[in-house]
Amino acid sequence: MSSKMPAEKEGDILCFFINGKKVTESNADPETMLLSFLREKLRLTGTKYGCGGGGCGACTVMVSRHQPATKTITHYSANACLLPLCQLHGAAVTTVEGIGSTKTRVHPVQERIAKAHGSQCGFCTPGMVMSMYALLRNKPQPTMEDITQALAGNLCRCTGYRPIVDGCRTFCQEADCCQASGGGDCCLNGAEHEKPQLFDREEFLPLDPTQELIFPPELMLMAEAANPKTLTFRGERMSWVSPPSLEELVQLKTSNPKAPLVLGNTNIGPDIKFKGILHPLIISPTRVTELFQVTQTPEGVWVGAGCSLTEVRSLLEKLVPQFPEERTELFRALSRQLGDLGSQQIRNVASLGGNIMSAYPNSDLNPVLAAGNCKVSVICDGGRRELPLNQDFFVSFGKTILKPEEIVVSVFIPFSRKGEFVGAFRQAPRKESSFPTVTTGMRVFFSEGSRVVQDVSIYYGGMGPTTVSATKTCAAIATRPWDDETLSRAYDVLLDELVLPPSAPGGQVEFRRSLTLSLLFKFNLEVLQKLREMNVITDELPEKMQMRPLPREIQPSLQEFQHVSKDQSDQDPVGRPIMHRSALGHATGEAVYCDDIPATDGELFLALVTSSRAHASITGLDVSEALRLPGVVDVVTAEDIPGQKVRKISGYEEELLAETEVSCVGQMLCAVVADTRAHARRGAAAVKVGYEDLPDPVLTSEEAVEKSSFFEPRLTIERGNVTEAFETVDQVHEGELRIGGQEHFYMETQSMLVVPVGEETEFHAYVSTQWPTLTQDAIAETLRIPSNRVTCHVKRVGGAFGGKVTKTAILACVTAVAAWKTNRAVRCVLERGEDMLITGARHPVLGKYKVGFMNDGRIVAADLQYYANAGNTVDDSLLVTEKILLHIDNAYNIPNLRGHAAACRTNLPSNTAFRGFGVPQGLVVVENVVSDVAALLRRPADQIREINMYKGPSVTHYKFEFSPESMLRCWEECKAKSDYGARRAAVDQFNQQSRWKKRGMAIIPIKFGIAFSEGFMNQAAALVHIYQDGSVLVAHGGAEMGQGLHTKMQQVASRELRIPPSKIYISETSTSTVPNTSPSAASYGTDANGMAVKDACQTLYQRLEPIRQKHPKGSWESWAQAAFLEKISLSATGFYRGPDMYMDWDKKEGQPFAYFTFGVCCCEVELDCLTGDYRTVRTDIVMDIGRSVNPSVDIGQIEGAFMQGLGLYTMEELKFSPSGLLYTRGPSQYKIPAVCDVPLRFNVYLLPDSPNPHAIYSSKGIGEPALFLGSSVFFAIKDAVAAARSESGLVGPFPLDSPATPERACLACASPFTQKIPASKPGSFKPWA
């Protein structure tokens, strides 16, 4: 600490309001964020922890402040995980609990998101609600654009966003016809109104702005009072000072030049959290009025450096209409760039000065400000000076020319002149809420009425350690006429000027270099357009060359399902679109998740220590320093485990905690338990591990094949004779396709709480898991106690998707050992980064294929080889390879078919089950084969698909008989619903008329086997109690993780007992009520548990028969009472013995599935060939799911799975360093689909009249099948890329790996700009580490 600090006095008292109640905190710690304060101190657990870095929006709250200068109150949404508590002095915070509850009155936003089925697991819902609420407080009648912008920073992994947007759309004014009500067919189309709707907007509460909480008058007085007092808050390791005046701020910064200024905490916050940087002193200049002033001059406008990006943007938008267009070029360019920077929550708090001074290499604003000749005014105790923002301003990574003690006070943004044009572009991995790959600001000035360039300025971000100026390129353009000759010379100069070495940090070198050219070309197109508008040039730019932005308006969509039959009783809920039974609890924040359970006295928190080497011996584990830290209670190592130290799967063993050797980065070594989360994490960071590297870690499937590193057995299956068939075909083609892995990104990270009862070694485990029985057995074996001493409770899971089965059990074992050792309750909740590092993902797969086909399009033979990267332990990998092989036919009857699959043993974290279980990886290779055949024959791919489909009574390659009739109906229906023929022709027409944007279309079928291929897993049990008041309690073996299982079970019980669902309650899934359960997985949860609940309810209904005969007019309640008095048991267990599925791998035949779920998806995309960006313009899905038990839940599953598939095949990229460390450990590096990725028209149709005799009430399992349909977006992109390649004279099949990120799509388009970039040879350089 510097000696000039104010004398060590007591800290000040922090005063602010939460939900209308005053909160005073006398010892506020600057390290405490609002999120942990809300959750741990105030027990307001509606605000969720999703990522801790402002990237997911789960912790969104609304902050309100009184502005004395304007006497107004501002409301804005913000991420509670980045809001320092100390920043909130004088603010009013509103959380989801403060706007409405089921006890008092539900707020319209909460009601509409719930009733529109916008919540599945419900973990992201409070954040969605608060983003929307903050928007409505500022704009009670928003536009669709407002809504999509407000939700851009909120991620959801379950729903596919469509129902959330539909629920919010009901607040819009513009579309007040029935189109906005969740049904697309409206009176305008003259459609008959008989179609059933998913929800009825007539019953919604109206929005009444007068009902909101008022801003606390006390805070107004506080804000108005002149209080020039410096506020100081001292914490355990950090102090926080908030000066009231500029003068005092300058003094503070002079005496503490290293102390950062924090306004939005969107930079310093993540640094402290993720990089462990410690700042002993933080200066918060929020009360220095000079930093927030805006002054207009004849030359431009000075904007206070403290203004938030949202304020800057609305200022620019206000100024633009006040001046002639030629004067606001820079304003408009900046405003455009600001629209895509970060998310609404980030822009609301991040400051302009902070954004400039953080000097990120890929800054969005700096290139535009620099190109636009902006300058900053800085101050220090030596006085003020003005500095231009130019290439000299940015010195090195994160460093500027300013001295440490200087402070940026304001930023000058000049007016533009006549004949001056400014362009701003960015390319990012996701269209919104994403750090950019490359950004640019460009400005050109022409002499009056001429195309001769007087002055030009071009800056790029993302092309080096700082914002760079393309000075030589500018010199090549200046003084010359703006025409093709000048520009083609400029591209060559630019190529030489901005060189990135192949090992440059961040990778993607060829893509980034090609972007510099194509963004300059985009600017060129804009300039030509402007010159034409000014009549400087008259030659028409051919229509074909023009570039309009990609479409972005979300259209109303259709969800079609079948009415229940006319004779079904009104109180029978089966087949009706009933809201998720906890939806209102999700929307009000009342729903309790694992980490929301209140802490018990003496509870400890567990943090893990993980390996930092991919393959090494452990030479030492020194925990002495950790044990000395404040709050640390103990360290748990493998030696502390009283029972089994390993888990056995598929004949292999997996260690709970590594003892002698590590086989991946992120392997668990030991765990630290402490009194708080922060202390446990610091303790874990202080554990010293000694390693000795072992030779040659294996990281990729290719390396594993080379070194023969596999988990055995490797499986093969064959039908017909493939080798002979290759001799007789017309053409043979070989290829390969790599499919990247996929992180589960469930919104609720792995969470558990293990509580020792205190006697007879009994434990209660509250775990967020899909398989409570596995967790129970695992803990019992680890602690060497009988299973009857361990009860595992699952109330609900905040998303799982396959990722909360095996690893969750291992984490629970480690937590249980800590609870056993300390005899105290122990909680373990992983941080997002740890979760992504430790728990594994979907298996990346390398697929190789050889296909033989006839010239008429018949595929006669195919040989497919799959290498799945299993990681360091076997986990479910062998079952995944098995399921891949059982699906290599998809919808096609290929007479000679051979498949080979291997699980590669590598030194990456072990991959695990993920929705689809190998099928999405296996099938995309099959479909790629079909599209390659189509490309070679120069025929439309849909024709080749049709020719080869199963028709009539069919047999799969493992001799399983089935009828493909429903699948063919889905195919025909999808072609009809999507108007395939006409739109295909329109796409070709579009592509002929557009050079730089292409459209593509694809239609893809799926045949997905439902049930566990291990026969014994197809069983389920239930326990149903009727109480004397007639209320019913149902327990079954399935876990509710957002898939609506409890809702469907409630519907089943309601139908069987003939009582309304309101009388039926499901509390939790617990191993003490229903033992020996199977996991909720394989799309089988409803099939199995539904039958068990039905069985129990039927037993009870029959027991009541004599009572009903006696009192036929009695009520249900009176029957329950009478039965009790007659000593009739009102409790029953139900059991379902599922079908005996099996697969005999020696005979290569079996019945591994109970039935197939079929579906077909047609997608159209529009692709920007210059940047690789795309939009899904329209998606039509037709699914055969038998008779849906609950159409709203099932359509939600289809949409959510489709969006996860869209992420898998086009966006989500896991990146590892050359030493096996996962780089993408959070939402800022790993992009899952957001609202901006939803298909603009997203139609789902459930195939009518297709009952399924094999499952409850003729329904079908639907959790997984639709995920693969996301590949239709991949193939549509591939189709658009093919159209772009044909412009460069390239035809025929070409490689495009999954995911088809903007980088891959752009490079595959092979535009003239991409072709200029020299490719770097693999092996000639070391990739960036």
Asked if 1312 and 1290 touch (Cβ cutoff 8 Å), the reply is: no
Given this model, what pLDDT does residue 1320 score?
77
Residue 526 φ then ψ, to 5°: -65, -45
Label residue 1115 exposed, middle or buried (CB < 10 Å: 0-12, 13-18, 19+): exposed
Specify the pairing of strand 559-560 against strand 1241-1246: parallel
Asked if 914 and 742 touch (Cβ cutoff 8 Å), the reply is: yes
Given this model, what pLDDT does residue 40 score?
96
749 DSSP assignment = P
Q: Which of 758, 762, 778 is nearest to 824 (CA)?
A: 758
Q: Residue 508: is its pLDDT beyond 50?
A: yes
DSSP assignments along 1270-1286, one per residue: GHHHHHHHHHHHHHHHH
Asked if 1002 and 1180 touch (Cβ cutoff 8 Å), the reply is: no
Average pLDDT over residues 64-88: 94
Q: Residue 826: is its pLDDT beyond 60?
A: yes
Q: Tokens at residue 1066, please?
A: 């499901």
What is the C-alpha radius of gyration for the chain, rounded to an integer number of angstroms? 31
- In the chain, the amino acid numbered 92 is A
Can you say whether the dihedral through the CA atoms of 45, 50, 53, 57 is positive or negative?
Answer: negative
Q: Residue 536: is its pLDDT beyond 50?
A: yes
Can you say whether the dihedral through the CA atoms of 956, 958, 961, 967 is positive or negative?
Answer: negative
793 DSSP assignment = E
Please give the C-alpha separations between residue 1114 and each of 954, 1108, 1118, in angstroms, as whole numbers: 53, 7, 6
Which residues make Cβ contacts (< 8 Å) with residue 1068, sequence separation at least 6? 793, 794, 795, 1035
- Phi-psi group of 260: left, alpha or beta (phi > 0 → left; psi -120 to 50 → alpha; rest → beta): beta
Three-state SS annotation for 309-346: HHHHHHHHHHHHHHCCHHHCHHHHHHHHHHHCCCCHHH
Average pLDDT over residues 412-441: 96
Asked if 821 and 695 touch (Cβ cutoff 8 Å), the reply is: no
- In the chain, the amino acid numbered 545 is M
Can you say whether the dihedral through the CA atoms of 826, 831, 834, 840 is positive or negative?
Answer: positive
Given this model, what pLDDT does residue 548 score?
87
Q: What angle do CA 151, 156, 160 make, to 5 degrees?
A: 95
The residue whose two tokens read 């789960």 is 58
**pLDDT one-digit tens code per residue, 100-144:** 999 999 999 999 999 999 999 999 999 999 999 999 999 999 999
Average pLDDT over residues 45-66: 97
Residue 366 three-state SS: helix
Asked if 11 and 26 touch (Cβ cutoff 8 Å), the reply is: yes
Residue 424 φ then ψ, to 5°: -135, 130
Asked if the peptide bond before residue 713 counts as cis, ω within 30 degrees of 0, the response is yes
Q: Tokens at residue 634, please?
A: 């103990």
Whole-prediction pTM: 0.96
Beta bridge mates, 800: none
Given this model, what pLDDT does residue 193 score?
52
Q: Tokens at residue 1296, please?
A: 């495009």
Q: Residue 226: is its pLDDT beyond 80?
A: no
Residue 616 three-state SS: strand
245 DSSP assignment = S
Count of CB atoms situated within 10 Å of the CB of 183? 23
Instruction: With residue 1056 as reference, give the H or E element that holds it.
Output: helix 1045-1057
Distance CA 974, CA 1181 (A): 7
Can you say whether the dihedral through the CA atoms of 193, 199, 203, 208 is positive or negative?
Answer: negative
**pLDDT one-digit tens code per residue, 139-162:** 999 999 999 999 999 999 999 999
**pLDDT one-digit tens code per residue, 236-290:** 899 999 999 999 999 999 999 999 999 999 999 898 888 889 999 999 999 999 9
What percentage of residues in the chain have a pLDDT greater than 70? 97
Average pLDDT over residues 1094-1105: 98
**pLDDT one-digit tens code per residue, 547-563:** 889 999 999 999 999 99
CA dihedral 265, 266, 272, 274 (to 10 degrees): 160
Q: Tokens at residue 737, please?
A: 């396709």
- Phi-psi group of 371: left, alpha or beta (phi > 0 → left; psi -120 to 50 → alpha; rest → beta): alpha
Distance CA 342, CA 350 (A): 9
Distance CA 1234, CA 1236 (A): 5
Can you say whether the dihedral through the CA atoms of 397, 402, 407, 409 is positive or negative?
Answer: negative
Q: Which of 921, 914, 742 is nearest to 846 (CA)?
A: 921
Asked if 506 and 1328 touch (Cβ cutoff 8 Å), the reply is: yes
Distance CA 925, CA 941 (A): 14
Given this model, what pLDDT does residue 1117 score?
97
Q: Tokens at residue 1178, please?
A: 């329209």
Which residues make Cβ contacts (< 8 Å) with residue 867, sequence separation at least 6? 701, 702, 704, 705, 845, 846, 847, 848, 901, 902, 904
Specify the pairing of strand 731-739 against strand 751-756: unpaired
> Rounded to an integer, what is the distance from CA 859 to the centroid of its chain?
38
Distance CA 78, CA 65 (A): 13
Sheet holding 294-296, edge to edge: 294-296, 300-304, 407-414, 375-380, 383-388
- In the chain, the amino acid numbered 284 is S
Beta bridge mates, 1137: 1019
Sheet holding 231-234, edge to edge: 231-234, 239-242, 281-283
Given this model, what pLDDT does residue 180 score?
44
Which residues make Cβ contacts (< 8 Å) with residue 1151, sequence separation at least 6? 960, 1139, 1140, 1141, 1142, 1143
- In the chain, the amino acid numbered 318 is K
**pLDDT one-digit tens code per residue, 831-888:** 999 999 999 999 999 999 999 999 999 999 999 999 999 999 999 999 999 999 999 9
What are the b/e assignments for 1152-1164, b being 16+ CB within 10 Å? bbbbbbbbbbbbb
Distance CA 430, CA 427 (A): 8
Distance CA 1291, CA 1287 (A): 9
Q: Tokens at residue 1157, please?
A: 């779920």
Mean pLDDT in the chain? 95
Given this model, what pLDDT does residue 176 score?
46
Q: How many residues are there in the chain?
A: 1329
Average pLDDT over residues 1072-1078: 97
Asked if 372 and 413 touch (Cβ cutoff 8 Å), the reply is: yes
Given this model, what pLDDT does residue 144 score?
95
Specify the pairing of strand 14-18 against strand 92-94: parallel
Q: Which of 1052, 971, 1010, 969 is nearest to 1248 (CA)?
A: 969
Catalytic residue among 834, 1264, 1287, 1303: 1264
Active site residue 1264: yes
DSSP H helices, 451-545, are: 471-477, 484-497, 509-533
Average pLDDT over residues 500-511: 90
Residue 653 three-state SS: strand
What percentage of residues in the chain have a pLDDT greater than 90? 91
Given this model, what pLDDT does residue 179 score?
47
Q: How confident is the model at residue 546 (pLDDT cuts 50, 70, 90)?
A: confident
- Phi-psi group of 651: left, alpha or beta (phi > 0 → left; psi -120 to 50 → alpha; rest → beta): left
Q: How confident is the model at residue 163 (pLDDT cuts 50, 70, 90)?
A: very high
Count of CB atoms situated within 10 Å of the CB of 551? 11
**pLDDT one-digit tens code per residue, 375-413:** 999 999 999 999 999 999 999 999 999 999 999 999 999
